[in-house]
Amino acid sequence: MRHCALAAFLLMTVLFLTHCQTVPVKPTLTVAVKEVKTIAAHDDSIMSLDFSHDGKWLVSGSLDKTIKVWQFKSSRLMYTLSGHQNWINRIALSPDKQWIVSGSGGIDDTARIWDAPQRKLRYQLKGHKTSVSAVVFSPNGQQVATGSWDKTIKIWHTETGKLLHTFAGHKDSVWALAYTSDGKRLISGGWDEVIKVWDMQTLKLIDTLKGQKGSIMAMALSSDDKKLVVGSGGTENNIKIWQLDTGSILHTLIGHKHTVMAVAFSPDGQLVASGSGGKGQNLNIWDVRTGSLLQSPQTHASAVMALAFSPDGRYLTSSGDDKMIHVYQLSVNNYQ
């Protein structure tokens, strides 16, 4: 009898724990998503989007080798920058709207700094041995970081185009970069499935985060620098939200069927948007606090490659293989 009672107790414990692990956590908010317009933007896949800090400009970079600058409110094309010899992987706009940086691959394999007010090329940054797959400005706009398939990260002076430093440490291509808001740390991720944190004052590696599982393709940092969202490919195609100060994983977001190519935090840090390759559920919006899936707009018939929230958080933009920029109006309601 004693053995039977013990066996029954263990069975009930297993059933209880299994039930607790499979009961989904209720979201802490709801979000209404309405597609308000689409912009026929490029002649090939759009790989990257970035808003100006005042929300007036939206910049797009494409496999068609061009960068386009849009007036966001009116969707008017302001101008086009041309000059790359091959596809554009990533673009970024400096905080003061003075500079645009772009990274290219193929026979090009360069990053370029463009003078935004003058609408012309300022510097061609040569130094990477192969495709430039990640670009980002420091918060003060004085430096540009570039990541490459050559496994290195390079730091450049924006106003002179001078190479300042090269970080080596990744064992495969670097696809994602993010600065903390004070500019003191640079975070990188790549196909070696690790996240590295670099001290920009000492120029030393200060942390390596492991546990992502899958080639890292996209990364975004919350505005308070506390959380890092990372999207991966490989066999899992998932997203992880990290607590940056402890190096712990808060949530694993499962829902994409193909490689996660883009992630973005809403300005208030409540939402994460993610985009992936393939068809069906390739655009998702998540509750950061609980990791719950809130919305999956069925607007893209093919891969979603780029995402950007407007600085006021009222709009989300997405783009990808359909060559369009999709604009969604968001309405968030928090539960009491």
The chain-wide mean pLDDT, for the chain, equals 91
**240 and 332 part of one domain:** yes
**pLDDT the model gives residue 236:** 79
Residue 243 belongs to some domain of the structure: yes
**pLDDT the model gives residue 1:** 44
What is the DSSP-derived secondary structure letter of residue 267? T
- Number of structural domains in the chain: 2
pLDDT-derived band at 326, boundaries 50, 70, 90: very high
Residue 112 belongs to some domain of the structure: yes
Average pLDDT for residues 184-190, to the nearest whole number?
Answer: 97
**291 and 199 part of one domain:** no
**pLDDT the model gives residue 20:** 37
332 close to 31: Cβ distance less than 8 angstroms: yes
Residue 6 belongs to some domain of the structure: no
Residue 2 belongs to some domain of the structure: no
**190 and 131 part of one domain:** yes
Indicate the pTM of the whole model: 0.90
**pLDDT the model gives residue 153:** 98
**279 and 205 part of one domain:** no
- Write out pLDDT tens, residues 244-293: 999 999 999 999 999 999 999 999 999 999 999 987 779 999 999 999 99
Residue 26 belongs to some domain of the structure: no
**pLDDT the model gives residue 106:** 86
Residue 95 belongs to some domain of the structure: yes
Domain end: 210, 240, 255, which one?
210
| 164: pLDDT strictly greater than 50 | yes
**219 and 331 part of one domain:** yes
223 close to 264: Cβ distance less than 8 angstroms: no
**197 and 277 part of one domain:** no
**pLDDT the model gives residue 7:** 43
Percent residues over pLDDT 90 in the chain: 84
- Write out pLDDT tens, residues 109-129: 999 999 999 999 999 999 999
- Write out pLDDT tens, residues 46-81: 999 999 999 999 999 999 999 999 999 999 999 999
| 8: pLDDT strictly greater than 80 | no
Residue 24 belongs to some domain of the structure: no
Percent residues over pLDDT 70 in the chain: 92
**187 and 228 part of one domain:** no
pLDDT-derived band at 25, boundaries 50, 70, 90: low
CA angle 223, 229, 235 (to 5 degrees): 170
Residue 75 belongs to some domain of the structure: no
**pLDDT the model gives residue 281:** 75
**161 and 279 part of one domain:** no
CATH number, domain with residue 134: 2.130.10.10
Q: Quick one: tokens of 221?
A: 């940092």
Q: Could you write out the DSSP letters of every residue in 71-127?
A: ETTTTEEEEEEE--SS-EEEEEE-TTSSEEEEEE-TTT--EEEEETTTTEEEEEE--
Domain end: 167, 190, 210, which one?
210
What residues make up the domain containing 146? 83-210
What is the DSSP-derived secondary structure letter of residue 181? T
Domain end: 176, 191, 210, which one?
210
**143 and 217 part of one domain:** no
